[in-house]
Amino acid sequence: MFIVAVTLGLLAVMGVYGLSATSADLRSAGHMREALQGQRAGEAAFIMTAETFNPTVAQGLVQQMTDGQGQARDCTTAVPYNAGNVETRFAQACIRLSPDRMTVLANSVNSTAWAVSPPTVQPGFTAQSFGSTLNQPFITVEVTNPINTEVTAGNSQAVRYSQLTVTVLVQLKASALLPAETAVAGRGRITVGPSMASGGAPAQF
C-alpha cells in the first residue's frame, strides 16, 4: 500500500511538472513572438523615417530640430531643451515623429501622385497589423544630433547633407492608456539630403 501511494504521488508530481513546463514554454514562445513583432515594427518605422527625410522636406525638418519653434521639447534621447544655452543647440536638437505624422508628410509630398493613383494600403500600423492579437505597436521616433556638411562641386551652388541619429521606441500593448507588455528600442544613423545650403528652394534629384 505504501509503495502504491508513493508511486501515485510521484506520478502526480511529474504530471504537474509537465503541465507547468508546457505552460512556461508556451508563454516563452509568445514573448519571443511579440519581441520579434516589435523588432519588425521598429525596422518598418526606421525605413519610414528614412523615406520621410526626402530632399523635398529634409531641409525643413532639420531646421525644425534646432529653431526652438517646431523643435520637440520632451525628447528622452537628447539634451534637455534650454533656449538660452546656444552652445548645446545641436545637442538639444530633436524632432519627434509618429507613423501618422509621417503619413501626413508623405501625403503632402506626393499629393499629385496620390490624387492620380491613391495607394490601396495606407502607411502606418493598425490594430490588425499583426493579425487578430490583443497587443498592437505604439511607435515613437526621435531624430536627434544633426551634423550638417556642405558640398560645392565646381560652379554649382552649395548643397547640404545632414547626418541624423534615429531612435525608434516601440511599445506593444492593448491600448495607449495601458502599460507596455513588450518594449523594443533601436537606433541608427542616416544621411539625408541634398538641400540648399544657403536657403531657397530645396534641391531635387
Distances (CA, A) of 132 to 34, 38, 138: 13, 15, 16
Q: 194: cis peptide before it, omega within 30°?
A: yes
- Give tens-digit pLDDT for 26-83: 566 667 887 888 888 888 889 888 888 887 788 888 888 888 777 888 888 888 888 7
| Whether the predicted pLDDT of 123 surpasses 60 | no
Residue in 148, 141, 139 with CA at minimum distance from that of residue 66: 148
With cell 513588450, the residue in question is 182
Are 146 and 93 a contacting pair, CB within 8 Å? yes
Cell of 164: 541624423
Query: For the segment 130-139, what is each residue's pLDDT rounded down to a tens digit?
Result: 666 677 888 8
Cell for 87? 552652445
* Residue 141: predicted pLDDT: 92
> Domain coordinates of the chain in residue numbers?
2-196
